[in-house]
Amino acid sequence: MEKSERYVCIGIDEDLPQAQITSFIRSYTNFLDKRCKQFPNSYKRVSDQMEDGICVGAEFVCDKKLLPSTIFKAPSKKKPMSEEQKKIAGERLQKTRKPREKKIKEDS
């Protein structure tokens, strides 16, 4: 299967409590396989997607409440910082780094 043909499809039906996930991307398939082993009551591998006798993907079912809400999250807007805000943030960062540096030196 060509790289441009691989995808993940998430199907959510309003009437059903489960979501259907079809993955043709190996990393997502492996991730979902691990979830199936860790949480067999929540994640289930329903079928394999075969092409020329080779498994190229898989179909999973899970509770749709388990899907992260960040799937549909709007991108955040970066607010510009004034010079004064940058200075204050830099000082705050310096303060947090000092105790950390001391701790690292003590542990060595």
One domain, residues 56 and 17 = yes
Number of domains, the chain: 2
One domain, residues 61 and 86 = no
**pLDDT reported for residue 28:** 92
Q: Is residue 37 part of a domain?
A: yes
One domain, residues 63 and 23 = yes
One domain, residues 14 and 56 = yes
Q: Is residue 56 part of a domain?
A: yes
Q: Is residue 73 part of a domain?
A: no
**pLDDT reported for residue 35:** 93
pLDDT tens per residue across all 108 residues of the chain: 677 788 899 999 999 999 999 999 999 999 999 999 999 999 999 999 888 888 889 999 999 888 887 777 777 788 888 999 999 999 998 888 876 666 666 665
**pLDDT reported for residue 107:** 64
Range of the domain at 29: 3-68
**pLDDT reported for residue 106:** 64
- Burial label, 44 (beta-carbon count in 10 A; 0-12, 13-18, 19+): middle
With helix as H, strand as E and coil as C, how does 8-31 read? EEEEECCCCCEEEEEECCHHHHHH
One domain, residues 53 and 10 = yes
**pLDDT reported for residue 31:** 92
Apex 50 CA angle, 48 and 56, nearest 5 = 80
**pLDDT reported for residue 96:** 83
